[in-house]
Structure 1
Amino acid sequence: MKSKYRTVGTVAPHESAHLHVSGRAQYTDDIPEWQGTLYGAFGLSERAHARITKLDLSKVRSAPGVVAVITVEDVPGDKYIGAAKADEPVLADGLVEYYGQPMFAVAATSYDLARRAVKLAEVEYEDLHPVLDVQEGAEKESYVLPPVRIAQGDMEGKLNAGPHRHQGSFYCGGQEQFYLEGQVSYAVPGEDGEMQLFASTQHPTEMQLMISHVLHQPSHTIKVQCRRMGGGFGGKETQSWQFAVNAAMLAQKTGRPVKIRADRDDDFMITGKRHDFRVEYDVAYTDDGQITAVKFVQQLRCGYSADLSGAVADRQVFHSDNAYYLDTFDILSLRVKTNSQSNTAFRGFGGPQGIMAIEYVIEDIAAKLGRDPLDVRKLNFYGRTDRNITPYQMKVEDNVIHELVDQLEKTSQYRERRKEVDTFNANNRVLKKGLSLVPVKFGISFTLTQLNQAGALVHVYTDGSVLVNHGGTEMGQGLNTKVAQVVAEELGVDLKHVRSSATDTSKVPNTSATAASTGTDLNGKAAQVAVRKIKAALADFAADHYGCDAAEVAFVDNHVECGDKARVPFAKFVQTAHANRIPLWSSGFYRTPKIHYDTETLTGRPFYYFVYAAACAEVIIDTLTGENRLVRADILYDAGRPINPAVDLGQVEGGFIQGMGWLTAEELWWNDKGRLMTHAPSTYKIPSVSDCPAQFNVAFFENNNREDSIYQSKAMGEPPLPLALSVFFAIRDAVHAAGDRKAVPLMDAPATAECVLKALESVGGCPASKLGQAVEVAADHG
């Protein structure tokens, strides 16, 4: 649908695209350095769980180029901090709880000298038993936070009544954020204890607060700025703190600027990932596949500290229904403590984990009944007028999943292709195809209600140019572009006249993280409020100055119109307004309405609205090698009224491929000592352009956001990622076909070649395995 607006809803290039492609975009590490800058590095633990019995840093302190060395004893303020609770030591405090935990930090005259120096430390440990596996942690009731449970109905009665019932479990691995720009912070001390920090972070305010606690200084002495990030994906929401805080401590100690830029291997070893998890389920269902009761035990591996695991686990619970009505349910969420990196936010924030659980169950039901999974999905959808209350007691009022899935079923030619896939599989012994269509219902808002607020500051200059500063951070997702479009639309000026500046805690304070897909919703609204304040003052002035009614004043086509009395170029008008002492700047504040949520009972309305989407994926697997390839993907996405269709299209495509990487290729592997062995691009593989399907069709579903979001748009960041579950289940469908659909495949994620071969063995569909058995039999018989 053609946009009724001049700027909003139109295609506009990303505001930094020309800088990205030319190499002139300035990231934190590109900022010209102050004279005397020092460079930091961490000394990392080589044990997963141990007491430090000796930490001799004498050789480190005397190493060439070393100016300062700090340990936890040098912390002037709080020695323990954290996003949700203060359970993370700034540096190891006599105990190490994961392999790679920072024990001390060094500032030297070069990166090379700093990294060489930390290797000189003499460390002795008293080893303790490490808990490395999520199942072991659950069995030992080792938790970072108490378990949470929500339940409804007569579970045992419904399970026993059937008429069909089965149990199962599966494991899904985590995911490294693998932002192209690694963790980096640059701390510059100023006068009278001031500290300026330039950081690659999604949450400047949290970095400000943590530095304040650690340095034992008030927040107004600390300024944090972020112009842009080279990707974040949740990995820079909280976990920038170790680099920011230690850079600030070293800067305070030396009186000189200090930069800590993590080597990629160190970044992998120090920082947390997407939570890997294990799910046990018990489900009862009817002859046609309608779920009558389902029970989940969700074991989420949190790592050694709480970080954001409570909120991630809550969102896993909230998305365990996905698009399906559950009448009788029991969902137990275990926040398991292990001796590994503290897992953290990742695009989707627990939502993909919850969606995967129910989709796995749906697939099992279809396989056991011999029905098409799409038919089972449709049967269990939330109703349009009934069967529309979620397990957390929120009414689903904006449901379009029926219409959206019906549309994708037709445009993707799902039924016709299902027949083609079956024909292909019947005629091919080694290569097998799979097809899957998966829906997504994704809640939009921070589940912690207080985070759903934002501020903005808008300046109109006398030459007609406009500068907007807001609390969101730009990490490549186009937030600054969209907010600038909102401001341009409100003022009726061309987009080229509006510029978004760096996020800065001294301009917009007390900001929320740029996360939970809320960046445009919150900051776009805050900017709109600020602009409308400016417009109101200007309209009153125009009415008085030109002799018209204030209601007749319009800001259009780079002009200000005052009924039939005047039409003045915008730049000339604001010059006149300034000469008459009319304010040309204002702040704006926005809080998301309607939402509320009880953290004790996990009930309420945690989400302002839902995004609906669906994806149809077709894959082909090689049953001899376990390799797989996505050959076609069709996506239909409910974006409401997109603010920038081109930027939004990129978000859908990118999120989907990132999700595919999580579910098919990106494998995190720790050895039996708790050391992460996949800690570099050589051992950890993310998708590349060659992994994109030859046919990649993305369309937007025609739909207004029924809530008063910014220009009726809907969120883009996270909902596309779980659409990649269609790829995983298409692979599982191909495995099922390889076993002649006689047995339900047992398949964990990611679906690497090894995992696919194991799944093939579980259904007796692995030619390589059969060939090996034949060779063994022949050898036994001479």
Structure 2
Amino acid sequence: MKDTHSITGAAHTDRNHDSAIKHVTGRADYTDDIAQPEGTLHAYLGVSDVAHATLNGMDLSAVLAYPGVVGVLTAEDIPGVNDISPTGLNDEPVFPTDKIQFHGQPLFAVVAETRDAARRAAELARIDCAPLQHALDPIAAQEAGYPHVTAPLKLERGDVDTAFAGTANRITGRMAIGGQDHMYLEGHIAFAIPGEDDDVIVHCSTQHPSEAQHMVAHVLGVPSNAVVVNVRRMGGGFGGKESQMNLFCAVAAIAAKKYGRAVKIRPDRDQDMTATGKRHDFVVDYDVAFDDAGRIEAVGGTFAARCGFSADLSGPVTDRALFHADNAYFYPHVRLTSRPMKTNTVSNTAFRGFGGPQGVIVAERMIEEIAYATGQDPLDVRKANFYGGEGRNLTPYHQEVDDNIFDRLVSELEDSAAYRQRRKDIVAFNETSPVLKKGIALTPVKFGISFTATWYNQAGALVHVYNDGSIHLNHGGTEMGQGLNTKVAQVVAEAFQVNFERIKITKTTTEKVPNTSATAASSGTDLNGMAALNAVEQIKERLVAFAADHWGVAAELVRFAANQVHIGDLTLTFDAFIKQAYLARVQLSAAGFYKTPKIHWDREKGQGRPFYYYAYGAACSEVTIDTLTGEYRVERTDILHDVGRSLNPALDKGQVEGAFIQGMGWLTTEELWWDDAGRLRTHAPSTYKIPLASDRPRVFNVKLADWSENRELTIKRSKAVGEPPFMLGISVFEALSMAVASVADYKRCPRLDAPATPERVLMAVARMRDGG
């Protein structure tokens, strides 16, 4: 390896994603690209065609008789425990035994010589069941007396009842917030290869290899050390592969061990969408009191969520919705309650933001209500209610906001986007344009970083330095396109002061780093970067001690720089130095570990410090709507986002752009719709509309707040970037609301429900004109 006077790929510099060229040339290997051993079998799920029923029996004789079918798996074929609940509530069977709980629920799996045979045979089953009444949404579930899937959370601070009783201005309302399908490019897939004794290797597309490992061990009735889960990369995840992959891993592993042959399972996109969970739909009843100037005095809110038939991750998701129901704003008196409702739908799960977006948008709705009620610019109401100032820094969960940068962030964006002048111009345009109406909104985001399940805030890494100076990096995080591997490798390269190209980034595997947390909660780089740095520091400490002893110099005179090691007046190449250390029997490998400090959380009390720090951002969006059709377009978006001291500005900017578009899609075009029979009708790209390239803002300006630096000791003082910018898409939703409000001279809040599809926009325009 050639020595240089500086290193390539250091932290805080732009660096292409390590697999970027492979992605665009088709050379990136995914689970479906793994060469199949001779005799590989294929599995496919047989699913329910009713939403709720007593399961009396299944006639699978025609399935078994289909050419190429090797066998069928049912609950009776599970050697261990028939449960894949990620929270251990024993409420999510691999296959049900007595009750069907949603349309599309997997009832059995066909195992055949080909995927086509398995898929066709699965349609031949005859299911004997007695239909029951079903409830599909949280309101219907409450009316039917359905239970919560997990215990609700209450956050409370101050004297809410007294504050409401003494207020002069009070608004109550209800907002329906739609769910969202993950629509990853690579769907769910698992490929299991049986080994000797209890052993099985599972290749899959999961964000949580350790959970998949434990779930497979659980259903097989074997210890976790018998199961290896490997993930090289995913073609997108967004939270949809945090817990939902458990089903596919379990089915593949059970079949592989039963038949002694490799087994792959890959559902069609339709089955992927109907059988796996999504972002939670919410119906929120809000209550806000405020003074004549528009400053909030008290807030109440009940957040009811469509959780599905089992708990999955609904508890922490609905908790986080409450954690972010304040967004950027201080509530002097507040009471927030979650209602995680059981419904006869697929069990909803993690999605980018993890409940946070549903909380943030309710905060923005209340700001919007106050602005229309007081006749103010919503931005002025936002600024009046920002955290900051004496006695105005405590959240509803009693954590102090001590790293607030809203004043500078929002002011800079307000100026760079020319918000005030453009708003004035838009109001003038709307006065003279009878059909086309414009709207503009500038919305902020405050997002807490850390898993609220405190024990997940840990990570491990394994770093090997080989005696030729090459470096092997492994950590517990998973790469799903976000650039995690690239960032962690940059940290390692800078710590050793070597070129990025010297580092080999390997697949995530439970064989190397055990008991890892999901790559989720925007914590992938925070946790795994620190764990990798810890491993490097261990190795460097040994190397410095060796050099000081071997060459008789003080330890402080040993310095790593630009692919070299300086030892007093002696300079060696990194390769030569490592060879010397190896010959002296210095250990050149280390397992690193990190756990997030300072965090604690008491759920019973609803108090603590669940977040290590906050990430901030703001977006200004302008839209134009057609009041005759409800169609609209996004004319311009300006974003200023806080990522602390960026590890890789190019990757971080890409994350901000992608998150914004995905957030915009959630609030505009992406609509999940179930019919009265409980069937998901938007179950394919033909019926479910994600944003296209043509839907992006015509003018799209994205800038990182390069002056920001994390006050907490994170990896190189950076901040998480995966989830926070998702909520910047709310600026589009708020701009649409302004455009609709213009038809009634901005006198009333349009109260748009999400997603604001063209149909909803058109109906809202009609309501505003009719005075409804």
Cα distance between partner residues in 2 of 1:70 and 1:349: 33
Match of 2:543 in 1: 538
* Equivalent pair of 1:612/1:638 in contact (CA under 8 Å): yes
Q: Aligned to 1:287, what secondary structure does the other structure show?
A: coil
Which of 554, 576, 582 pairs up with 2:580? 576
Runs of 4+ that moved beyond 6 A: 3-6
Cα distance between partner residues in 2 of 1:178 and 1:385: 45
* Equivalent pair of 1:171/1:749 in contact (CA under 8 Å): yes
Cα distance between partner residues in 2 of 1:159 and 1:166: 10
The answer to whether 1:635 aligns with 2:639 is yes
Shift of residue 81 of structure 1? 2.9
Cα distance between partner residues in 1 of 2:44 and 2:8: 51
Shift of residue 765 of structure 1? 7.3
Q: Aligned to 1:145, what secondary structure does the other structure show?
A: coil
Which of 426, 438, 443 pairs up with 1:438? 443
Match of 1:30 in 2: 33
Shift of residue 155 of structure 1? 2.1
Which of 16, 19, 38 pairs up with 1:16? 19
Calculate the aligned-residue CA RMSD, in Å.
1.4
Which of 118, 124, 128 pairs up with 1:120? 124
Match of 1:50 in 2: 53
| Structure 2 gap ranges (5+) | 1-5
The answer to whether 1:352 aligns with 2:363 is no
Match of 1:714 in 2: 719
* Equivalent pair of 1:68/1:253 in contact (CA under 8 Å): no
Shift of residue 507 of structure 1? 0.3
Match of 1:402 in 2: 407
Cα distance between partner residues in 1 of 2:637 and 2:728: 10
Cα distance between partner residues in 2 of 1:6 and 1:104: 49
**Deviation sequence 1:710-757 (CA, Å, 0-9, x none):** 000000000000110000010001000122213221310101011101
**Deviation sequence 1:335-385 (CA, Å, 0-9, x none):** 011000100000000100110111101001101111000000000000145
Which of 620, 623, 632 pairs up with 1:619? 623
Cα distance between partner residues in 1 of 2:148 and 2:384: 37
Q: Which amino acid aligns with 2:351?
A: F
Q: Which amino acid aligns with 1:292?
A: E
The answer to whether 1:655 aligns with 2:659 is yes
Match of 2:3 in 1: none
Shift of residue 50 of structure 1? 0.3
Q: Aligned to 2:149, what secondary structure does the other structure show?
A: strand
The answer to whether 1:91 aligns with 2:91 is no
**Deviation sequence 1:109-132 (CA, Å, 0-9, x none):** 111100011111111220100111
Cα distance between partner residues in 1 of 2:678 and 2:571: 71
* Equivalent pair of 1:363/1:373 in contact (CA under 8 Å): yes
* Equivalent pair of 2:368/2:749 in contact (CA under 8 Å): no
Match of 2:80 in 1: 77
Match of 1:555 in 2: 560
1:284-303 maps to which residues of 2 (within 5 A)? 284-303=289-308
* Equivalent pair of 1:284/1:291 in contact (CA under 8 Å): yes
**Deviation sequence 1:394-419 (CA, Å, 0-9, x none):** 11111111111111111111101111
TM-score by length of 1: 0.96
Cα distance between partner residues in 1 of 2:384 and 2:409: 15
* Equivalent pair of 1:615/1:726 in contact (CA under 8 Å): yes
Q: Aligned to 2:197, what secondary structure does the other structure show?
A: helix
Cα distance between partner residues in 2 of 1:706 and 1:744: 38
Cα distance between partner residues in 1 of 2:7 and 2:447: 27
Shift of residue 628 of structure 1? 1.1
Shift of residue 763 of structure 1? 0.8
Shift of residue 549 of structure 1? 1.1
* Equivalent pair of 2:375/2:747 in contact (CA under 8 Å): no
Shift of residue 141 of structure 1? 4.8
Match of 1:596 in 2: 600
Q: Which amino acid aligns with 1:651?
A: Q
Q: Which amino acid aligns with 1:640?
A: G
Q: Aligned to 1:89, what secondary structure does the other structure show?
A: coil
Cα distance between partner residues in 1 of 2:747 and 2:209: 54
Q: How many residues align?
A: 764
The answer to whether 1:644 aligns with 2:648 is yes
Q: Aligned to 1:405, what secondary structure does the other structure show?
A: helix
The answer to whether 1:488 aligns with 2:490 is no
* Equivalent pair of 1:738/1:765 in contact (CA under 8 Å): no
Q: Aligned to 2:546, what secondary structure does the other structure show?
A: helix
Residues 590 and 385 of structure 1: is their aligned pair in 2 closer, same or farther, counting only changes over 3 Å? Answer: farther
Shift of residue 34 of structure 1? 0.9
Q: Which amino acid aligns with 1:67?
A: V
Match of 2:266 in 1: 261
Q: Aligned to 1:192, what secondary structure does the other structure show?
A: coil
**Deviation sequence 1:166-205 (CA, Å, 0-9, x none):** 1111101000000000000000001112100001000000
* Equivalent pair of 2:621/2:637 in contact (CA under 8 Å): yes
* Equivalent pair of 1:177/1:273 in contact (CA under 8 Å): yes
Match of 2:747 in 1: 742
* Equivalent pair of 1:735/1:765 in contact (CA under 8 Å): no
Which of 178, 191, 195 pairs up with 1:190? 195
Q: Which amino acid aligns with 1:611?
A: A
Cα distance between partner residues in 2 of 1:630 and 1:373: 19
Cα distance between partner residues in 2 of 1:5 and 1:107: 49
Cα distance between partner residues in 1 of 2:461 and 2:440: 46
Cα distance between partner residues in 1 of 2:749 and 2:714: 43
Q: Which amino acid aligns with 1:12?
A: R
* Equivalent pair of 1:747/1:758 in contact (CA under 8 Å): no
* Equivalent pair of 1:189/1:255 in contact (CA under 8 Å): yes
1:207-606 maps to which residues of 2 (within 5 A)? 207-563=212-568, 565-606=569-610
Q: Which amino acid aligns with 1:45?
A: S
* Equivalent pair of 1:300/1:335 in contact (CA under 8 Å): yes
TM-score by length of 2: 0.98
Percent identity over the alignment is: 54
Cα distance between partner residues in 2 of 1:523 and 1:138: 42
Cα distance between partner residues in 1 of 2:261 and 2:388: 63
* Equivalent pair of 2:7/2:562 in contact (CA under 8 Å): no
* Equivalent pair of 2:565/2:577 in contact (CA under 8 Å): yes
Q: Aligned to 2:439, what secondary structure does the other structure show?
A: strand
Match of 2:157 in 1: 152
Shift of residue 157 of structure 1? 2.4
Q: Aligned to 2:518, what secondary structure does the other structure show?
A: coil
Cα distance between partner residues in 2 of 1:6 and 1:670: 48
Cα distance between partner residues in 2 of 1:765 and 1:631: 28
Cα distance between partner residues in 2 of 1:69 and 1:304: 24
Match of 1:757 in 2: 762
* Equivalent pair of 1:621/1:731 in contact (CA under 8 Å): yes
Cα distance between partner residues in 1 of 2:747 and 2:616: 33
Shift of residue 599 of structure 1? 2.0
* Equivalent pair of 2:8/2:498 in contact (CA under 8 Å): no
* Equivalent pair of 1:138/1:334 in contact (CA under 8 Å): no
Q: Aligned to 1:143, what secondary structure does the other structure show?
A: coil
The range that moved more, 48-57 or 264-273, is 48-57
The range that moved more, 614-623 or 755-764, is 755-764
